[in-house]
Amino acid sequence: MTTQNERLLKLRNALGLSTTELADAIGYSQSLISHLENNQAKTLEKRLVRVLHLAFGVNEEWLLTGAGGDEPVFDEKPAIDQESLIAFLRDCLDQLTPANREILMNVVRELAAAEEPAEKKRE
């Protein structure tokens, strides 16, 4: 039976990614990914497992428990409903510093303004 950390390494290898490429793809640091792969005692945080599921379709249960065997198990399409997405985003927002939260809010405001229908912009 493999550990969560070993399954993370197996997933990365199955995806054909370096630790840096995986980290960049999911918004984590390369050093954390490397540390997790090499430290067999540490378990993966729930948010990381969810991000890996959303980014690559890896089955969360396989990553957490190894259910389905030693090789990565992928879902046909990552399952995400609106409630799960909102909970995930709240968790991510809770991790931000106040300064980064403000930066994110400014980006969201800019995106929302860019998406306004032409009629509203003229008013």
- Average pLDDT, rounded, for the chain: 85
What pLDDT is stored for residue 123 in this prediction?
52
> Is the model more confident about 118 or about 80?
80
- The least confident of 4-18, 31-45, 55-69, 105-119 is 105-119
Question: Within a 13 Å sphere around the CA of 100, how many CA atoms are in the beta-carbon half?
Answer: 6
What pLDDT is stored for residue 105 in this prediction?
87
What pLDDT is stored for residue 120 in this prediction?
53
Q: Residue 86: pLDDT above 60?
A: yes
Helix (H/G/I), strand (E/B), else coil: 74: strand
